[in-house]
Amino acid sequence: MSESLDQICDELDSDQYSFTDADRFERSHDWGTDEEDGVYPDVVIWPESTADVSAVLAAANDAGIPVTPYAAGTSLEGNAVPMHGGISLDLTRMDAVHDIRPDALQIDVGPGIYGDEINAALESHGLLLPSLPSSGKISTIGGMIANDASGMKTVKYGEVADWLLEAEAVLPSGEVITVGSKAAKTSSGYNVLDLLVGSEGTLAVVTRLTLRLTGRPEQIWAGRATFSNLDDAADAVFDAVRSGVDVAKIELIDSLSAEIANARLDTDLPNSPMVFLEFHANQHIEAEVDFCRTVFDAHDIDSFEIAEQDEEMASLWEARRELADAVEPYDPTLSPLTPGDVTVPIDRLPDIVDYIKTLGEKQDIMIPCFGHAGDGNIHYFVMVDPDDPAMVSTGQDVSKQIVARAVEMGGTATGEHGIGIGKREYVPAEHDEALVATMRSIKSTFDPNGILNPGKIFPDESDSQP
């Protein structure tokens, strides 16, 4: 492999590749994997154009060298860990805004641009890519599409991929294809664009994206409601969505998460279950807020606050945005297992929340819950003492039971983090055997030599390893 890697690098500028331990270490893990369990790539390559990507993939394919696309490294399931070494293809230099077409409500960007940078480029046009998750400042648009990411505003605006119109991508052979269309809709042929969404870089490498846009809302109000118990809070979220409240964000936080936020972030949240809200409108936003308050009043609400000023709204949302980072330092003896990310049909939201809390109490395991409740997506951390093997084993079993219960409810093991290496074991339970076989055949068709991101998604590696 070494000689082939040298030949590939010889075709690049000297600053486009690195064999150093520091660069290889950085790409040996992501936010969801332990550094000590990382897998080093043999080389890191920074392509700067579609032509670069094409040349690297063609040469790697001929030599049977694994290639793992990489960007910000903020995935949570080992999605970009190079399980079989080879090339870590870092796309962060392909971060250009290629074109903005305000009249068409479209933007063309490279895969390495951060989500928030897209909206910064659109601000002067009064336009917005509204579906970005709150991690937009640390996550690239290519990574979001690869993992089929979504976030707090999914309840109103859908997933990031719902705003994707067209993509340029490079196949493992080095051939360049364009999938989708800049038209608002197309029924021409197979929908290959959607095949690439959520494929985690196992089918092709996306090098350019066309995204549709919308105007920025004239009115944005934020609010927070507190409840006497978690069941009422979860029921209120379900009732609001069922009743058609036009809300852009509706986030559930349990009392334990509030306590953690107060301890870590120096906030003054009440130690009560809460629902955070944000409303977007161009006019008559007061009526929608009043409607939501009316729905919530039927669920033993304790308080309902609304902020109209930017500073007040930022203060309201600070705790929710920073909550994931606050969990681990809360109790120095405990560490979270892989972040939970199940999603269930919205009518089962109260049931899955109750199941998680009941299971945690039964097993004496701390499980803070919070998440994008408006679309049935719950995040949770199973907290264990890493030096206590029995507790770790119990925590792992609890995690599996939660995922199994979500799937039984008609839900999914992962709402937005992807499969990667962390959730491959759940694929057979969620999808029938024939579908898994079909997915494997799609992988083989796109990537017959198995060089692209091997060892991901499928529950075993036998068909993916080069």
pLDDT value of position 330: 75
Tokens describing residue 389 = 């093997």
Q: b or e along 115-131 (b: 16 or more beta carbons within 10 Å of the residue's beta carbon)? A: bbbbbebbeebebbbbb
Dmax over Cα atoms in the chain, in whole Å?
70
Q: Is the pLDDT of residue 36 over 90?
A: no
- For residue range 293-350, what is the model confidence (pLDDT) as tens digits? 999 999 989 999 888 766 666 666 666 666 666 676 678 888 888 789 999 999 999 9
Model-level pTM?
A: 0.92
The 10s digit of each residue's pLDDT in 12-26 is 999 999 999 999 999
Tens of pLDDT, residue by residue over 137-149, are 999 999 999 999 9
Please report, in angstroms and rounded to a whole number, the separation of the first and last CA atoms in the chain: 12
Looking at residues 50-79, what average pLDDT do you find? 96
**More confidently predicted of 58 and 373:** 58
Question: Does residue 104 register a pLDDT over 70?
Answer: yes
Quote the pLDDT of residue 462.
Answer: 47
Spatial separation of the C-alpha atoms in residues 444 and 29, rounded to whole Å: 26
The pLDDT, as a whole number, for residue 326 is 66
Q: Specify whether the CB–CB gap between 252 and 272 falls below 8 A.
A: no
Cβ 224 vs Cβ 275: under 8 Å:
yes
pLDDT tops 70 at residue 38: yes
pLDDT tens readout for residues 228-266: 999 999 999 999 999 999 999 999 999 988 888 887 777
Please enumerate in sequence order all residues whose Cβ is within 8 A of that of 310, keeping only pairs 6 or more positions apart, or say none: none
Beta strands (DSSP E) in 391-432 are none
For 269-283, write each residue's pLDDT tens digit: 788 999 999 999 999
Beta bridge partners of 88: 44, 68
With CA atoms as reference, report the closest residue to 166 among 140, 139, 189, 185: 185
Lowest model confidence (mean pLDDT) among 37-51, 196-210, 299-313, 314-328: 314-328
- Coil, strand or helix: which one is 279? strand
